[in-house]
Amino acid sequence: MNSLHMLIFIPFVFAMAIPLLYKLFHPKIHLGWFVLLIPLVIFLHLFRYIPLVAKGDHLTTSLAWLPSVEMNLDFYIDGLALLFGLLISGIGVLVIIYSIFYLSKHREELHKFYMYLMMFMGAMLGLVFSDNIFILYGFWELTSISSFLLIAFWYERKSSRDGAMKSLLITVFGGLCMFAGMIMLTLITDTYSIREMILNVEFVQAHKLFIPVIICILLGAFTKSAQFPFSIWLPGAMEAPTPVSAYLHSATMVKAGIYLVARFTPVFGGSSVWFWLVSGIGIITLLYGSITAVRQTDLKALLAYSTISQLGLIMSLLGIGSLTFYFGPSEHGVTYSMAIFAAIFHLFNHSMFKGSLFMVVGIIDHETGTRDIRRLGGLMQLMPVSFTVALIGGFSMAGLPPFNGFLSKEMFFKAVNDVRVAEIFHLETLGMLFPLLAWIASIFTFVYSMILVFKTFSGKYRQEKLNRDVHEAPFGMLIPSVILAFFVVVIFFFPNVFSKYLLKPAFVAILPMFTIDKVDIKISAWHGWNTELLMTIGVVIMGSLLFITVKRWVPLLKQYPQWLTLNNLFEKSLEKVERYSLTITNRYMTGSIRHYFIYIFSFFVIVLAGSLLLLHGIQFDVSEDNVICIYDMGLVLGVMIAALTVLFTSNRMTAIVALSVVGYLVTMFFVIFRAPDLALTQMVVETVTTVLFLLCFYHLPKLQKNIGRIKFKLTNLIVSVATGLTITILALSSNSHKLFEPISYFFENAYELAGAKNIVNAILVDFRGFDTMLEISVLCIAGLGVYTLARFRMKGSDHNEAE
């Protein structure tokens, strides 16, 4: 295991040590100080790879896991992976510092919070560094699970539980769709390696499963990155503590879908389906998020919808940039490749300004006790540092100079204008929609940015609407947000430094047709009086007018029927599904064992008998079967008599003895067929079962005499006879269809293969070792569950008695 593998697994290992540290040092030392070391070490280690990646090189490593099926822990660092890794670990450091002062060590269950946070950090690192597509999927789902736990951290609140459940349902649904797409992609390319898939682009795009694969992969990306119409989970996730929102929902988790689209753009880019789905859904999400954000009165909800909007902007840029693969390294290809660069740049910028804004909103909530804009105002003088950070972050989000958001927003305008001249995919007509929708969305982006800054910090201070005296946040909460705001300004003045070492390598990783030494991209704040600058001026003018008159027209947006909102449609649909499923469940979950057996055996007969008939599998060939001897017939007759005795006797003891006779006669069959191990096992199990049955039934009350005989039921007869016939026909047909060499020949070499003289033991321990281990694990988990429930029951009883 090399250093890269250790970086990814360190958070998981440390997560297991957190409860011990909590027990040893709580409440003397805040647990966050110990946790802080992990992302700091990871960030410093990844920082060492910047010179390597800046030269266009990459690092690959592999750890054997399941080499027999080519399922190994293959990781690699290129420009794109390193950019995400630095964001995950770097912002992770700042978020943990922030959380130390935000979360009380006396009132919060800090060990759980940091365990979940470390799980999430490790999962995100594994996701962005994975080359094996199914290892990537494993980490992908782990991010969904850990984020669910983080969102529901304050589980005593119903809103937290609902938000966590909604995020889990939507993201896991997308993840399963993505998994299906990944399976199809591996079948097409015959490899698990993402890098090798990129080398088989022509083969993938010519395959008949090409479009289904695109749809499945994008469903995973769209659900994770909150694209329309799957964006409804993100506002609900704002019920999480602010450090979680600042980390998961601005810099990391929601960017996982962006990463997936960027990583697979070389595979699917250049196709019309990929272009329209990625750019079209992205631009719709941008418009939807920006308009909806203006309607919000909760600061966190406003930031949630602004995040949705910004994610749509980045997604649309990736879609536009995918045209590069249609035109190749030609002049047009180079033009559209700048959209990819703009997407990377804005992703980086967004993590800076949105992280700082989330932290400021957390400070406001922490110090004032509310996030309701209608109760806030006049905080500028009381919280000058927070106001400065909010001003920098808000203006950057609005796309104003001298902040980094202005640079990437200008690139965005350039990209949507370039779409109009692409004479493919009907863009000569539909291409006009891109700059129009982008401009409208940018106006609303300007408006909600101004609302965030000025409705909160300017105006009249209303002490009577607040529950506490307001003052500036502690130094520890301000430092992380100030650092992020500092980079927002620095990037504007020195963008090409970041471009050289972080952005260009990521750009080349997405567009392998370009080499880093031939990429000459210079970021500048001034490009003359061009269309993009005029669009920005129009955004500022129109946005300012709308902000000044916001009280007059925002009520019109709120007139939109609540029952037509995506969130309401989702919740109502979920309620109906739950109601109908409960109705169906109540119909077949009757509490009757007889009914359950009828369902099970009927399904069994329909599937097996139907398959035999449809596939013409019924075939009998008894020419090579052994001759049935008199003692074989005697044993069969004995089994039949004992089984019928079980059915018709009215005495429990007689039924138990007759049932045991059936088992012992089956043991004799094993003896006749020369299977002494099975015979011994059957005999021991039958003896223990009989003794236990007799012991249990001895203490049951006697049957009442007035019950009478068991009534004849035609359904029971039909199902039982059909099941017996199906099993018999299946056994005879299977014996007659010997298409392959019996597997018993392989196990006869157990001594040579496994060094075992007992074949049964060799099968259980060596040949089926994983199966046996998992069975034992299941039994252990079930035992622990029973023990835990029993302990809770005992504690509950003691508590009730005490009351």
What is the block-wise mean pLDDT of the chain (803 residues), using blocks of 10 residues?
Answer: 83 92 86 93 93 89 80 90 94 94 82 93 94 93 93 88 92 95 93 90 90 95 93 89 86 89 93 94 95 92 94 95 88 88 95 94 90 89 93 95 94 92 84 93 96 91 80 90 95 93 93 85 87 94 94 84 82 90 88 88 91 82 74 87 85 85 90 83 89 80 56 83 90 76 74 77 78 88 89 59 44
Query: Do residues 285 and 314 touch, judged by C-beta distance below 8 A?
Result: no
Contacts of 392 (CB under 8 A, 6+ apart): 353, 356, 403, 485, 488, 489
Structure tokens given for 801? 């008695």
Query: Do residues 98 and 92 touch, judged by C-beta distance below 8 A?
Result: no
| Closest by Cα among 295, 557, 300, 306 to 442 | 306
Residue 537 CA to residue 643 CA, distance in Å, equals 90
Give pairs for 698-701: CB < 8 Å, separation 24+.
700/652
Contacts of 360 (CB under 8 A, 6+ apart): 386, 389, 390, 393, 481
> Would you call 73 helix, strand, or coil by DSSP?
strand
| Closest by Cα among 64, 40, 23, 253 to 143 | 253
Greatest extent of the chain over all pairs of C-alpha atoms, in Å = 104
Query: Do residues 255 and 128 touch, judged by C-beta distance below 8 A?
Result: no
What is the pLDDT, as a whole number, of residue 405?
93
DSSP for 740-766? S--THHHHTTHHHHH--S-HHHHIIII
Distance of alpha carbon 37 from its chain centroid, rounded? 26
Query: Do residues 68 and 82 touch, judged by C-beta distance below 8 A?
Result: no
What is the pLDDT, as a whole number, of residue 266?
93
Question: How buried is 269 (Cβ within 10 angstroms: 0-12 exposed, 13-18 middle, 19+ buried)?
Answer: buried
| Closest by Cα among 478, 467, 293, 496 to 397 | 293
Residue 641 CA to residue 636 CA, distance in Å, equals 9
The residues facing 298 across adjacent strands are 372
DSSP for 436-464? HHHHHHHHHHHHHHHHHHHHHHSS---GG
| Closest by Cα among 256, 261, 270 to 125 | 256
Structure tokens given for 341? 């660069």
Residue 513 CA to residue 330 CA, distance in Å, equals 11
The packing angle between helices 110-129 and 3-25, to 10°, is: 180
Helices (H) and strands (E) in the chain, counts: 37, 2
- pTM value is 0.83
Query: Do residues 287 and 329 touch, judged by C-beta distance below 8 A?
Result: no
Structure tokens given for 482? 């100030």
Angle at 327 between CA 324 and CA 330, to 5 degrees: 95
What is the pLDDT, as a whole number, of residue 733?
83
Please report which helix (H) or strand (E) contains residue 72, including its range: strand 71-77
The residues facing 74 across adjacent strands are 62
What is the pLDDT, as a whole number, of residue 800?
46
Structure tokens given for 441? 């969305």
The residues facing 73 across adjacent strands are 63
> How many angstroms separate the first and last alpha carbons of the chain?
56
| Closest by Cα among 296, 292, 298 to 312 | 292
